[in-house]
Structure 1
Amino acid sequence: MPVSRVIPHVQTLLFAITTSAALVVSTTVPAAAHVSADDSDPVADLRTDIDTILDDPSLEGAISGVVVRSLDEDDTLYSRNAATPLLPASNMKLLTSAAAMDVLGPDYTFRTTVSAGEDPSDGVVDGDLYITGTGDPSLTVDAVADLAGEVADSGVTEVTGDLLADDTWFDDTRLHPDWEEGDEPYYYAAQISALTLAANDDLDTGVVNVTATPGDRVGYPVDVALEPMTDNLSLTNRTKTGTATSARTLDVRRKPGGNAFTATGGLPLGGSPYATLRTVHEPTDHAAHVFADALADQGVKVHGEVGRGTTPADSEEVAVRHSDELSDLLIPFMKLSNNGHAEILIKAMGRETLGEGTWQAGLVQVKPALDRIGASVKDVRQADGSGLSRGNLLRADIVISLLDAVRDEPWYDDWRTSLPVAGGQDRMVGGTLRNRMVGTPADGNVRAKTGTLTGVSALSGYVTGTGGEELVFAIINNGHSGPAPRDVQDAIAVRLAEFSRTTTTSADALQPRPGAPRALDVPDAPGRSVGDLECTWAEAC
């Protein structure tokens, strides 16, 4: 991606930050400015050390909102720009997930049904067959196959009419107006629909898997495939296998407004296979075509076309699938920072409360929910559920307020479990933190939500100090021009894991651990080209 795309947004970001900071300058508390460090005072040492960490050159010209609070002692250990509204990136998911647990409930499930427009008792549906979605983010290819199997088990062998997909539980606005147009091909900006397919075990919705293997000889086409491939997709292969020393230049794109994919570039001879994800246009249609193929595999013949329609009120249900409960769905959502899941939850909240599956109806549920939980909602500006929008603004002290308040909720344990765990090598444990803080006192200790956009990075969550003291922290960095300052965030988190009110920490504790992987050394995740990055331009960050 051309660098010229990044620069205007960094400039916009800095303007937004400067403007926001000016509005709240009177309430900003510079933590260590008025604290005289005392070698015998562990809290003063902590403040000095965090100040030192934040002086890292990677944050030159940036603004950082940082707050550390003790849950045991109910005091603030550190505060810098606590009340400055900043872009939170995926830290916005902390608010979305907590609100969803309050509004929808931890036992909430998504329902997908198959209904016959006419009585199918003789095995023939004389009319149309409908598949109706309510936003299930876990509707995998296997789940669709199970639905088709249930249709066949009901005795249905033939449909004289069409197979129609009903996605009217949500509106038909697929992409948030704040999202960058250039992001649409990438998995983190997939279109949102009430009937969408999860293409992999990570439950990435609205996408297809792209796989590519070098040809047998130089000049031969690369073997490129889309999965699941259906009649509504097309793939033009213009690739070539390069020499063994050539670079990987393969790319797969689709024209906006359709599902005509084109593969270009190449892979080196004898090189490793390549895998990534690409979004589909109109995920409802793609899910319907996958279901049509599954019905055919089950021997159910559909004479008509695959299209869309609204399920009649008097239709007869022939198959149904309930998703896992929301408390379980939070795991892939929060561990892997799944943007699509966040937006689905926003629209689901709107549908369940106001009867409107829209961003507008769902977003207005968040602040009242946080208020019921007991968290501060002052100065929150939420434009979407995931944090992909640059219209979001969030203060570090509000994040702390939420992390504290949710502990009194009956669903707190499930919510806390959904947060990534530093160094947890299982993807559904460590998530976006599985390769961070490995081999440090924070390993297996820090539970926190990450966040990344160009010029924006965040890490907020829970950590236990060496003395057993429970701490919450929020770190939101805005306006840095280079890579995300994850090493800075990790150094603060490790320092908190070493904190004790009865002992001091030497300066050596602030140095990187020999042998521990750096925060940016993140290997590729299955099906993704750039590991755990959540940034706006994922393949360039």
Structure 2
Amino acid sequence: MRQSLRLLAGMLVAVTALTGVAGAPVAAQDRGSLAGDLDAILANPGLAGADVALVVRTVDGQELYRRGSDRRQQPASNAKLVTSAAALEVLGPDYRFGTTVGATGRLAARVLHGDLYLRGTGDPTMLAADYDSLAAQVAAAGVRLVTGNLVADDSWFDGVRLGTGWAWDDEPFYYDAQVSALTAAPDTDFDAGSVIVRVSPTTAGAPARVETVPPTDHVRIVSSAVTGAAGTGSTVSVDREHGTNTITVSGSVPAGASPVQEWMAVWDPTGYAASLLRAALGAHGVRVLGRTTRGVTPPAARTLAERRSMPLSELLVPFMKLSNNLHAEILMKAMGRARSNEGSWNAGIAAVRGVLPGFGIDPARLSLLDGSGLSRMDQISPDQLVALLIAARSRPWYPVWYAALPVAGEPDRMVGGTLRSRMRNTPAAGNVHAKTGSLTGVSSLSGYVTAADGQALVFSMVTNNSVGISLKPIEDAVAVRLASPGSAAAAVRADTGPEPDGECSWRKAC
């Protein structure tokens, strides 16, 4: 992560290309040639019956092309442009999440005569190692025995775990994980509220080995998976029973093959976080006699251990590059807490709507039900997204926001993000900084591009109601044309394939 952040620091120099040419004349990009080429790209037969909207403007707002761009549509993960910009406005780039372990009662002879309180504020970057560090701090404070309970305090947010309009059948998977003020991630992508289920081969014909990362007793594994013959294909399937933490594993993994890994959302991330701390306390010689319960930390509790997250300016990188849904929803509730002392979606959405006029967006003319774009009830127009992109350039936080956007054709995951495999070896590679978005039947791409003559442009393409095809090649063709000199229609080819299942990063391997 830190190496990737250093790479990003160099990329900030590129921001000057988008801040010094606001007055470039419209003539720098020939309207007729551009319109003809974009019309030709959007005439792709794969778009028949789809609702396609595209707008292209200069960074000072001059319109170069538009097609249906005032119509509201489902934005998919382009909603994260709104959420991230609003979070920088409301919380600030230096905002950090805090997690503490507090105590009540008297500490004497290494015995705490009271309860321990684990209190969270939504930190999505908490790893098992961080709970281990909290436990080590408790032990260093002289505690060896706790006569009371371990109390999990997730009251910073409300108890609503899943967003309005989210698909029920996505609920077991990590990109649709539950939102809680206490949570944990299994990796440095910070996929909060999930575990990695690792299925490894043993010997042919024997049961496969199944384990979780991190190890936790919060989930129960029920496996019928076996080790297949060497050279056969993997048929491993991993699922979680709705409303439970029973994870089922079936199929076969070939002998000698690499382990199969699946990221799965846990049911009740609060309990998951508490289980990691309890296990870590035991590993550091701290025994808790009582149960793990839920409650609110008393104001008089003294802090024994604490951790602060990286600042929001750094969290933006995995959030936006990898299109992390849980980061968006946690930030939404954190904004609600900051503005109205209520960590809920409703309060967060109100906070977002409060800053939209500053971006030139009328909040009465859009609908946002969550922060990630998972909700099928979200509605926003490409014109509104472009207004946001233009207005963001005047903000002091713009350089870190711009650098956090995926960059076309850059193979490093923490640079290219969801665009790392797209537009390689084209004028758009290393040039287009844009946010992707995908749901079944929905695809979006909105961001910045510098034309061949140095003119800085903003664009937004959102397509709804497509059937059975990937719209990514068409979006790429549009972005490549914007980055290309002169008429490039003949050189831009959009071969559509099967429709992908969600964002690239959600599939991990792409």
What residue in structure 1 maps to residue 256 of structure 2? Answer: 270
Distance 1:376 1:428 in 2: 33
Alignment-mate amino acid for residue 278 of structure 1: M
Deviation at 1:519, TM superposition (A): 9.3
What residue in structure 2 maps to residue 468 of structure 1? Answer: 454
Distance 1:41 1:313 in 2: 61
Secondary structure at 1:364's aligned position in 2?
A: helix
231-240 or 74-83, larger mean C-alpha shift: 231-240
What residue in structure 2 maps to residue 313 of structure 1? Answer: 299
Alignment check: 8 A CA contact 1:164 1:309 kept: yes
Say if 2:198 is the partner of 1:190: no
| Structure 1 residue ranges (4+ consecutive) displaced by more than 6 angstroms after TM superposition | 518-522
Distance 2:211 2:503 in 1: 21
Alignment-mate amino acid for residue 60 of structure 1: A
Alignment check: 8 A CA contact 2:177 2:266 kept: yes
Alpha-carbon distance change, 375 to 410 in structure 1, aligned in 2, over 3 angstroms: farther
Secondary structure at 1:466's aligned position in 2?
A: coil
Say if 2:483 is the partner of 1:497: yes
235-244 or 476-485, larger mean C-alpha shift: 235-244
What residue in structure 1 maps to residue 74 of structure 2? Answer: 87
Say if 2:313 is the partner of 1:327: yes
Deviation at 1:337, TM superposition (A): 0.4
Say if 2:228 is the partner of 1:242: yes
Secondary structure at 2:123's aligned position in 1?
A: coil
Alignment-mate amino acid for residue 42 of structure 2: L
Alignment check: 8 A CA contact 2:468 2:498 kept: no
Say if 2:172 is the partner of 1:162: no
Deviation at 1:431, TM superposition (A): 0.7
Taking only aligned residues, the RMSD between alpha carbons, in angstroms, comes to: 2.2
Correspondence for 1:347 among 333, 343, 368: 333
Which residues in structure 2 correspond to 1:325-474 (within 5 Å)?
Answer: 325-377=311-363, 379-474=365-460
Alignment check: 8 A CA contact 2:137 2:305 kept: yes
Alignment-mate amino acid for residue 504 of structure 2: D
Alpha-carbon distance change, 182 to 521 in structure 1, aligned in 2, over 3 angstroms: closer
Q: Tell me the TM-score normalized by structure 1.
A: 0.85
Correspondence for 1:54 among 29, 35, 42: 42
What residue in structure 1 maps to residue 3 of structure 2? Answer: none
What residue in structure 2 maps to residue 18 of structure 1? Answer: none
Alignment-mate amino acid for residue 148 of structure 1: A
Deviation at 1:376, TM superposition (A): 4.6
Deviation at 1:246, TM superposition (A): 4.1
What residue in structure 1 maps to residue 504 of structure 2? Answer: 532
Deviation at 1:368, TM superposition (A): 1.4
Secondary structure at 2:32's aligned position in 1?
A: helix
Secondary structure at 2:330's aligned position in 1?
A: helix
Secondary structure at 2:438's aligned position in 1?
A: strand
Distance 1:177 1:410 in 2: 33
Alignment check: 8 A CA contact 1:420 1:448 kept: yes
Distance 1:95 1:63 in 2: 22
Which residues in structure 2 correspond to 1:163-178 (within 5 Å)?
Answer: 163-178=150-165
Distance 1:468 1:143 in 2: 46
5+ residue gaps in structure 2? 1-27
440-449 or 115-124, larger mean C-alpha shift: 115-124
Deviation at 1:41, TM superposition (A): 8.1
Distance 2:470 2:104 in 1: 53
User: Percentage identity across aligned positions?
Assistant: 46
Alpha-carbon distance change, 507 to 93 in structure 1, aligned in 2, over 3 angstroms: closer
Distance 1:65 1:465 in 2: 21
Distance 1:422 1:345 in 2: 26
Alignment-mate amino acid for residue 53 of structure 1: I
5+ residue gaps in structure 1? 1-39, 523-528
Secondary structure at 1:496's aligned position in 2?
A: helix
Distance 1:151 1:221 in 2: 40
Alignment check: 8 A CA contact 1:486 1:520 kept: no
Deviation at 1:512, TM superposition (A): 6.6
Distance 2:364 2:408 in 1: 30
Which residues in structure 2 correspond to 1:50-129 (within 5 Å)?
Answer: 50-71=38-59, 74-120=61-107, 122-129=109-116
Distance 1:79 1:373 in 2: 20
Deviation at 1:505, TM superposition (A): 2.3
Secondary structure at 2:92's aligned position in 1?
A: coil
What residue in structure 2 maps to residue 508 of structure 1? Answer: 490
